[in-house]
Amino acid sequence: MGHKVKLDFLTTVSPKYAREIIDSYVTPLGFESLSIKSCLGRVLASDLISPEDLPYFDRSLVDGYAMRSKDSQGASETNPLVLWKKGSVRVGELPKISVSEGECVYVSTGAYVPSGADSVIMQEFTREMGDVVEIMKPVYKGENIVRMGEDIKKGDIIFKKGKRITVHDIGIFAALGLTKIPVFKKPKVAIISTGDEIVSPDEKAGSGKIRDINGYLLDGLFTKLGGETVTPGIAKDEIEDVVNKLSLVKDCDIFCVSGGSSKGERDVIAKALEKSGGRILFHGVNIRPGKPFLFGLIWDKPFFGLPGHPLSCLIVTYRFVVPFFLKVAGCSETSPKTLKGVLITNVPSSQGIEEYVNVRIIPKGREIFVEPIFAKSAVISVLTFSCGYIVVDENREGYEKGEEVDVYFYES
Amino acid sequence: MGHKVKLDFLTTVSPKYAREIIDSYVTPLGFESLSIKSCLGRVLASDLISPEDLPYFDRSLVDGYAMRSKDSQGASETNPLVLWKKGSVRVGELPKISVSEGECVYVSTGAYVPSGADSVIMQEFTREMGDVVEIMKPVYKGENIVRMGEDIKKGDIIFKKGKRITVHDIGIFAALGLTKIPVFKKPKVAIISTGDEIVSPDEKAGSGKIRDINGYLLDGLFTKLGGETVTPGIAKDEIEDVVNKLSLVKDCDIFCVSGGSSKGERDVIAKALEKSGGRILFHGVNIRPGKPFLFGLIWDKPFFGLPGHPLSCLIVTYRFVVPFFLKVAGCSETSPKTLKGVLITNVPSSQGIEEYVNVRIIPKGREIFVEPIFAKSAVISVLTFSCGYIVVDENREGYEKGEEVDVYFYES
């Protein structure tokens, strides 16, 4: 699979082939067990099976009288029926009494409905007079009761492995007493920006120097997506420096190195990868932007050589690295959010190359319009006003105004 | 404004009035300054003004020759024009040479374009032969250059106060050297569940006891929204216990107490609030679910008395507490995400009450269909399959199948 790096030209592979190669290197990470309060946003490492019935017992939904529905037949305001009040059950209590024919028991909202009763009549439709209660309307079987197990049954699979844990899921965990949640470990992502011209954001730019953007974009992105990021610093365009920075973060699960991967005098990433004992699986993909995109293995871990231009770096990352990262993170949902919309201008492109174009969306009533943003790749303010990108298939020479396209959303 | 709590019935206010009262108690929190790597998801506490031009200097977008566009007029493959190669500028270097008529300077992608040049011709359209370079096509002024300040100008307002910081924003901060970011402090939210029947998720439920769900839902929700949560424990349905739990978290900015706020024997929240020296601003809102919703002040801080049923608690929280929380957190965007869709069944409701109905959405092509989920309020599995809710206006008796409605989304 590995081929020698050619410095003079890039032999490109198709984006489909690139994705297949990348996907063949997904290796799942281990598990850890987290408390219910620290698992928000993490990814379930196994199916969760309900250990209990929910509700745990027949509960009253109202303040009223637990009774047998039969005993209410024919009751009305003008012709109330009379039941013996046998006692009451407060919320939090286990009933010590049961309900027989002609009897009722006062229950509060949420209280355990005593055995024998099959319904609860709301207090509003009764009149309590000493030891007896007048029933002024009929109730049906099950009225105002939520039955044990009606909500969730013991043994039900309540969540599937690979689900990202939401706020609402945590409510279900709490209800079922699931306080230790098995989640996948966070993938550890090494992020290195390379380039002689790159300085840290706290240094002065100008005089040919520019500040590191990719390192911060990727750090934010993989943090947001649930990764742990490790940033050993900016590397010079020197093989030794890149090799050295990589060796500082050997224990990572995924390596992202941006810059220095295009053809020409600066092709140090490929050489640094090989010098570190890694190998290249492809170098160059038939896409725009991002043609010099490189994928390989280092210490048997996936290694991504990303473009130096921030917009190109980001789009290649969203398109190729993020779905892979999410698979490694154990997520069952790895595709970006998409939305269909109608183009408001033509999008020219060349046949034979898969092209990505930043867009913004303009909702108008129930229609979604899509506006392509054509910008020089160095113009990073595009980051703030594009919400995603569209893909022009390699078999097409662009799209025409009015065509429907899929918008792939960025994280925000 | 404050009125005496009445235990026998609730005098309800309109939801509009409730929101106005609540909103009148928004008090902004202080600022803190965070490093660029820890500000993701936080809320900007001031407008951010660009301290620099971006790019910092005229940059080449390609590998090629910086030159005067005039000097390329008439050039073609068959009739190339010849320029003197004066030297080269590598990325990261400040050029020591300039370009005059008939001259060119080799520049790498990202390099500083030397003064005198107004364009860069791609290497592909040139032939270098010793000290001279053949130009094989004309270039236009500005071609392959991104000008100093073309992207962002010094003094531009790049972000507005109140914006939640995204991954992409961090890229812009990095580019502009903004490494200390002013953000609003996180609102500190006290969360207390009350009820004699409530036990912690790590305790056994059943025999009348149920596990705390609200505490965990609210903890997850306000954490997700960027708050700091404080949970002093579950309180019994006793005024003293609620007073005691509240006194443990006096330093919070917002108080959320669920359960025990409905009419009847368990109305301890209102009394605990008054006993703590607080006051009630309204108790009872014309909404379903959530009618016994209470709002007041404790230690001059906002106090929310929320329903005990998890679904009711959550919907009232989304509807009334979350927008308030987001205002306190400094967010300029405080409305929930919404989407229009078409109802697939009738939604009955009573006039004179604002009703909230859980829904799920079913996208079909470019149409969005909305399915109401009618469930007993105790059935919490609804949490996992509803994506939001719809609002039935108090002036309407429900909606009919086929009507267009707004879906208000839950956090996920």
Q: How far is CA A378 from CA A103, A218, A231, A261, A309, in A?
A: 81, 17, 23, 17, 6
Average pLDDT over residues A240-250: 97
Between positions 204 and 233 of B, the ones with CB within 8 A of A are: 204-213, 215-217, 219-221, 223-224
Interhelix angle A268-275/A239-247, rounded to 10 degrees, is 50
Helix, strand or coil, per DSSP, at residue A213 = coil
CA dist., res. B107 & res. B95, Å (int): 10
pLDDT at A132: 96
Q: Which of B200, B380, B410 to mutate to test the interface with A (most CBs of A within 10 A)?
A: B380
Tell me which chain A residue has its CA closest to the CA of residue B377: A61
Task: Please state, in angstroms and rounded to a whole number, the distance separating the CA atoms of residues A164 and A45.
Answer: 10
Contact in structure between B397 and B349 (CB atoms under 8 Å): yes
Give the mean pLDDT of A396-405.
Answer: 94
Contact yes or no for A412 and B213 at CB 8 A = no
Q: How close A298 gets to chain B, by Cα (Å)?
A: 27
Residue A158, pLDDT > 60, answer yes
pTM more than 0.80: yes
Percentages helix, strand, coil for chain A, rounded to the nearest 5? 20, 30, 50
In chain B, which residue's Cα lies nearest the Cα of A58?
B208
Q: What is the CA radius of gyration of chain B?
A: 31
Closest Cβ opposite residue A366 in set B89, B310, B340: B340
pLDDT at A8 over 80: no
Task: Compute φ and ψ for B193, nearest 5 degrees.
Answer: -100, 140
C-alpha span between A176 and B213 (Å, rounded): 9
**Which residue carries 């004066």 as its tokens?**
B86
Which residues numbered 172-201 in B keep a CB inside 8 Å of some CB on A? 172-179, 195-198, 201
Strand partners, A288: A355
Note the ipTM here.
0.91
Contacting B residues, span 308-327, partner chain A, CB-CB under 8 Å = 308, 310, 314
> Does B263 or A197 have the greater pLDDT score?
A197
pLDDT number for residue A261: 56
Q: Do B168 and A410 touch (CB under 8 A)?
A: yes
Is residue A270's pLDDT more than 70?
A: yes
A15-28 mean pLDDT? 96
Nearest to B197 among A91, A310, A340 (CB): A91
A327: closest CA among A71, A24, A11?
Answer: A24
Amino acid at B318: Y
Computed over every residue of chain A, the mean pLDDT equals 93
Nearest CA in chain A to B53: A206
Q: Given this model, what pLDDT does residue B2 score?
A: 37
- Per cent of chain A over pLDDT 90 is 83
Residues in chain B predicted with pLDDT less than 70, given as ranges, are: 1-10, 261-266, 377-378
Interface with chain A: mutation pick from B148, B373, B376, B386, highest number of A CBs within 10 Å: B376
Reported confidence tier of residue A5, pLDDT bands at 50, 70, 90: very low
| Cβ neighbours of residue B365 closer than 8 Å, sequence gap 6 or more | none
3-class state of residue A387 by DSSP: coil
Element containing residue A288 per DSSP (H, E): strand A287-288
Chain B residue with minimal CA distance to A89? Answer: B208
> What span, in angstroms and rounded, lies between the C-alpha atoms of B120 and A5?
28
Tell me the one-letter amino acid at B203: E
Confidence of residue A28 (pLDDT cuts 50, 70, 90): confident
Q: Which residue of A has its CA nearest to B178?
A: A201
What percent of chain A has pLDDT above 70?
95
CB contacts under 8 A, A 25-64 vs B, are 36-37, 40-41, 52, 54-57, 59, 61, 63
The SS3 call for residue A169 is helix
Sequence letter at residue A397: E
Q: Which residues of B touch A207 (CB under 8 A)?
A: 57, 94, 112
Reported for A236-241, long-range contacts at CB under 8 A and 24+ positions apart, including other chains, are A236/A194, A236/A195, A236/A196, A237/A194, A237/A195, A237/A196, A237/A266, A237/A268, A237/B91, A238/A268, A239/A268, A239/A271, A239/A272, A239/A275, A241/A194
pLDDT at A263: 53
Identify the residue among B90, B212, B216, B219 best suited for mutation to test binding to A, counting A beta carbons within 10 A and taking the highest: B216
SS3 category, A211: strand
Q: What is the DSSP string of B323-386?
A: HHHHHHTT-S--SPPEEEEEESS-B---TTSEEEEEEEEEEETTEEEEEE----TT-TTHHHH-
pLDDT tens-digit readout, A51-104:
999 999 999 999 999 999 999 999 999 999 999 999 999 888 899 999 999 999
Distance in angstroms between the alpha carbons of the first and the last residue of chain B: 37
Q: How far apart are CA B285 and CA B283, in angstroms?
A: 7
Q: Are A179 and B201 a contacting pair at CB < 8 A?
A: yes
Q: How far is A1 from chain B (nearest CA, A)?
A: 30
Nearest to B123 by CA among B142, B136, B112, B110: B136
Q: For residue B91, what pLDDT is reported?
A: 84
Task: Please tell me the predicted confidence (pLDDT) of residue A266.
Answer: 55
Q: Report yes or no: A307 at the B interface, CB cutoff 8 Å.
A: no
- Statement: residue A10 has pLDDT above 70: no
| R_g of chain A computed on alpha carbons | 31
Structure tokens belonging to residue B224: 């997700």
Q: What angle do CA A94, A98, A100 make, to 5 degrees?
A: 165
Q: What is the 3-state secondary structure (H, E, C) of B377-409?
A: CCCCCHHHHCCEEEEECCCCCCECCCCEEEEEE
What is the pLDDT at residue A262? 54
pLDDT of residue A254: 98
pLDDT at position A2 is 37
Closest residue on chain A to B406 (Cα): A366
CB contact under 8 A, A210 and B56: yes
Rounded Cα distance, B26 and B338, in Å: 23
Q: Tell me what pLDDT residue B109 has.
A: 84
- Cα A187 from Cα A253, distance rounded (Å): 6
B208, B368, B376 ranked by CB distance to A146: nearest: B376
